[in-house]
Amino acid sequence: MATPRKTRVAVLISGRGSNMVALIEAAKDPTYPAEIVLVLSNRPDAAGLARAAEAGIPARAIDHTTFTDRASFDSVLDAELRAADIDLVCLAGFMRIFTPSFVAGWAGRMLNIHPSLLPLFKGTRTHKQALDAGVRLHGCTVHFVVPELDAGPIVAQAAIPVRQGDDPDSLADRVIVQERRLYPAVLALVASGRARLEDGRVVIAESAPDGALLSL
Ligand code: GAR
Ligand 1 proximity of 99 Cβ (cutoff 6 Å): no
Burial code of 118-139, b = ≥16 C-beta within 10 A, e = fewer?
bebbeeeebbebbbeeebeebb
Integer angstrom CA distances of residue 187 from 170, 183, 211: 26, 6, 15
Residues paired with 111 in a beta bridge:
90, 144
Cα of first residue to Cα of last residue in the chain, in angstroms, is 42
Give the Å distance between the CA of 5 and the centre of ligand 1. Answer: 29
Measured from the Cβ of residue 204, the count of other Cβ atoms closer than 10 Å reads 15
- Greatest pairwise CA separation for the chain in angstroms: 57
Q: Decide: 15 and 173 in contact? Cβ < 8 Å.
A: no
Question: How remote is the CA of residue 55 from the centroid of ligand 1, in Å?
Answer: 20
- The response to whether residue 113 sits with its C-beta less than 6 Å from ligand 1 reads yes
The verdict on the CB of residue 168 being under 6 Å from ligand 1 is no
Tens digits of residue pLDDT in 4-59: 799 999 999 999 999 999 999 999 999 999 999 999 999 999 999 999 999 999 99
What's the CA gap between 34 and 17, in Å, rounded?
Answer: 18
- In this prediction, residue 213 carries a pLDDT of 55
Start and end residues for every CATH 3.40.50.170 domain found in the chain: 1-106, 116-139+156-216
Pocket test for ligand 1, best of 176, 177, 186 (most atoms within 8 A of CB): 176
Which of 3.30.1360.120, 3.40.50.170, 3.40.50.300, 3.60.20.40 is the CATH number of 116-139+156-216? 3.40.50.170
179, 183, 187: residue to mutate for ligand 1 pocket, most atoms within 8 A of CB: 179
Q: What are phi and psi of 55, to 5 degrees?
A: -85, 5
Which of the residues are catalytic? 114
The pLDDT tens digits along the chain (216 residues) read 666 799 999 999 999 999 999 999 999 999 999 999 999 999 999 999 999 999 999 999 999 999 999 999 999 999 999 999 999 999 999 999 999 999 999 999 999 999 999 999 999 999 999 999 999 999 999 999 999 999 999 999 999 999 999 999 999 999 999 999 999 999 999 999 999 999 999 999 977 666 555 544
For residue 20, give the ligand 1 atom closest to its CA. 18
Nearest CA to ligand 1 atom 7: 93
**10 Cβ contact list (under 8 Å, min separation 6):** 36, 37, 38, 39, 40, 81, 84, 86, 88, 89, 90
18 within ligand 1 shell (Cβ under 6 A): yes
Question: Is the CB of residue 93 below 6 angstroms from any atom belonging to ligand 1?
Answer: yes
CB 36 within 8 A of CB 51: no
Class for domain 1-106, per CATH?
alpha beta
